[in-house]
């Protein structure tokens, strides 16, 4: 029987960086999509900087920042938002969406991101991403694997990547990349539970994989189960915004 998560465990999941709040950007606003559908979006914050500051005030240490405009357009669109959040907080930020060139990677890092998230390009041009890892260091990249029935989806989840998740991760590991997150699109934004069975399978095939869960997380007990399963983090968006997972009390105000 699964034990309830204690108050101290709850706080630690946030302050350790295991829970990684997500801000998805469309038109400079904080939104969430349902199952990756751009037609099914809801605005949660007009000002994403304010949202990021709330996360930091509550004790969070990381932030997953996604330029959905950039993912759809194929070029980064919300770099100014990244720069504003990095300037207003000390959060460790990973940023992605529409990253295509080495110049864009440099711009993202210069704007204050700790890591650049790469998804579609890693599928289409793995040699390019491997070269970037050599140039900037593998620790500066977080490889995103968006899946539907274990097949990779790309370009903001709009296209079939033509490769399965296992082959993709093997390619990236062979190229020297070390950090991954995996989103099951069928789970994302549904508040019906994460793809924990898939994560267990991946960790069974790739023992010790630095794998962050993403999509569908609904309850804090589920987050603890992901940690026990071997995931190194959990990206959470809608469950926080809808209140099914609440922010911890700020250490400043406790």
Catalytic entry in 67, 69, 146, 188:
146
- Catalytic residue at 24? yes
Token output for 44: 């949660």
Catalytic entry in 24, 67, 184, 188:
24
Q: What is the DSSP string of the chain?
A: -PPPPPHHHHHHHHHTS-EEEEEEEETTEEEEEETTEEEEEEEEES-HHHHHHHHHHTT--EEEEEEHHHHHHTS---HHHHHHHHHH---EEEEESS--SHHHHHHHHHTT-SEEEE-HHHHH-HHHHHHHHHHH-GGGEEEEEEEETTEEEETTTTEEEEEEHHHHHHHHHHTT--EEEEEETTTTTS-S---HHHHHHHHHHSTT-EEEEES----HHHHHHHHHHT-SEEEE-HHHHTTSSPPPPPTTT-
Note whether 98 and 105 are within 8 A (CB): no
What are the residue numbers of the active site? Answer: 24, 146
């Amino acid at each position: 029987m699964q034990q309830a998560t204690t108050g101290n465990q709850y706080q630690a999941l946030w302050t350790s960086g295991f829970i990684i709040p997500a801000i998805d950007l469309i038109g400079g606003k904080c939104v969430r999509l349902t199952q990756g559908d751009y037609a099914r979006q809801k605005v949660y914050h007009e000002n994403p900087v304010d949202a990021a500051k709330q996360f930091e005030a509550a004790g969070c240490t990381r932030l997953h920042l996604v330029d959905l405009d950039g993912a759809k357009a194929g070029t980064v669109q919300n770099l100014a938002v990244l720069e504003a959040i990095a300037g207003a907080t000390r959060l460790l930020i990973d940023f992605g969406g529409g990253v295509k060139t080495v110049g864009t990677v440099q711009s993202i890092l210069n704007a204050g991101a700790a890591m650049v998230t790469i998804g579609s390009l890693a599928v289409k041009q793995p040699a390019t991403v491997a070269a970037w890892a050599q140039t900037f260091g593998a620790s500066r990249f977080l490889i995103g694997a968006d899946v539907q029935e274990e097949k990779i989806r790309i370009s903001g989840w709009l296209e079939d990547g033509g490769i399965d998740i296992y082959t993709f991760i093997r390619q990236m590991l062979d190229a020297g990349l070390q950090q991954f997150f995996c989103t099951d699109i069928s789970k994302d934004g549904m508040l019906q539970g994460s793809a924990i069975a898939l994560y267990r399978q991946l960790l069974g095939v790739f023992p010790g994989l630095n794998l962050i869960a993403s999509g569908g997380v609904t309850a804090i007990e589920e987050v603890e189960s992901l940690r026990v399963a071997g995931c190194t983090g959990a990206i959470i968006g809608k469950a926080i915004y809808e209140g099914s997972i609440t922010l911890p009390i700020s250490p400043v105000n406790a």
